[in-house]
Amino acid sequence: MLHSTHRLLLVAFLGAIALFASTVTPALFAAAPPSVAARVVGRVLPVLDAVGLALGLAAVALGATGRSGRAAVVLGGVLAALAAASLFVVTPEIASIRRATGDTLSHLPAADPARRRFGMLHGISTVLFGLQAVMALALITLRPRPRSARRGPRTPS
pTM of this structure: 0.87
Residue 33 CA: distances (Å) to CA of 37, 39, 85, 99, 104: 6, 10, 28, 16, 11
Look at the alpha carbons of 33, 40, 6, 136 in this order and tell me if their dihedral is positive or negative: positive
Other residues' Cβ atoms within 10 Å of the Cβ of residue 87: 19
How many angstroms separate the CA atoms of 155 and 2, rounded?
A: 30
pLDDT in tens, 30-83: 999 988 999 999 999 999 999 999 999 999 999 888 777 899 999 999 999 999
Q: Residue 63 CA to chain centroid, in angstroms?
A: 19
CB 114 within 8 A of CB 108: yes
- What is the domain partition of the chain in residue ranges? 2-141
CB-neighbour burial class of residue 5 (10 A; exposed 0-12, middle 13-18, buried 19+): exposed
pLDDT in tens, 71-118: 999 999 999 999 999 999 999 999 999 999 987 888 899 999 999 999
Question: What angle separates helix 113-141 from helix 2-19, to the nearest 10 degrees?
Answer: 140
